[in-house]
Structure 1
Amino acid sequence: MVPVTLAQDERAALVTTLRSVGPDAPTMCEGWTTRDLTAHLVVRERRLDTGPGIMIKRFAGHTERVRADAAAENWDDLLGKLADGPPVYSPFKLVDRWANLAEMFVHHEDVLRGGARKDAAWTPRPLSADLEKALIGPASSMARMTLKGSPARITLRTPDGRDLVTAGDGDQVVVTGAPGELVLFAFGRSPVDVVYEGSDALIASVKDAKRGF
């Protein structure tokens, strides 16, 4: 029997949450309901021609049209496709455990925290030690990309004092949180349960700066 991976666990948990909140619930992805978000995930794995549009603005129109078509599908069918995971022809099938762990985690939190005020305090759900450990890599790699243009030199630090990555230029701001929360910070999500160290003005600038894609 093939062991279930953390990415598969998180996918299953996301599908369960989506079923419980329904297709019209808010998410942390601005302008997207849970139906929109689910369509994005399904299209990402099943329509490889839409990949460039996720990162390159010039191709975004095609990606959005395909995603909108998928969003019009029956809700249960859409959830079934997400639950099934990448089809056999998708490159994501081979790299699911690595390529989809952060994707499923972040979008699960997009649903769980949907509707919360961005500046609100948030108590995260408990994560297993294995999942927290596995999210250290995505937190570091994503931060290297998303924090390059930050208005400060940002260090991501875990509560036990481990510095994961430093990126950006200028005076330093230290952002401390559990690996899962640091992943969300690197992806530009809020609310997140992190602690900032630095000048008040610089911290405010870091909070307001765009991160993610």
Structure 2
Amino acid sequence: MNFQTPLSALVPGTSGRLLTALVAHHTADASSPLALDELSRAAAVTPAQMETALFRLGLLGLIAPRHGGEAVCLVPGHIVWDALRQLTDLRGRVVDTAREQTRAHLHPAPEYLALSGAVIEGTATHSADVLELIVVPPTAAPADWDDGLAALVTQMSRALGNVVVPRRARSTREAEAMGSESTVRILPA
């Protein structure tokens, strides 16, 4: 999965690039008009290509009615904007999924679990870009605890569409040293 520009990955071509630029504008200042040349640059789409896509967005009610060549005015309160904005930043959903899957697969819970790598940084653009699970197993881990970790890695890989790699540490201090500024700690909460 492309976590850097997920809308463009899910909606390829002109429409995805245009939606990405419009969501960015909606987030920054939904009430101000957006000049076509500015939108064209932000979306890397020619004005001629934009008009067809903008027409369709107008039919959906995401933008106000307009004539060809006019600036784009968003309909800020349209219910789809929040959903689209959530798709542009999936980091929170990755964290929530990791929490849910950890509860489902790791018994007892690890002493420490954090997420690191290109997926959590939001820079992943290819399915080979990784999410690292930095884990300190519980001190009294049962013999089958590693099976739960393998199941967690498999489930997370499927859920994300990216490679998930576990990295073991012997202590919380060692685990924290493995991370970076963008590392997100899951456990302890």
TM-score (normalizing by structure 1)? 0.28
Which of 1 and 2 has greater Rg?
A: 2
Q: Which has the larger helix fraction?
A: 1
Of structures 1 and 2, the one with the larger relative CO (CA 8 A, separation 6+) is: 2
TM-score (normalizing by structure 2)? 0.30
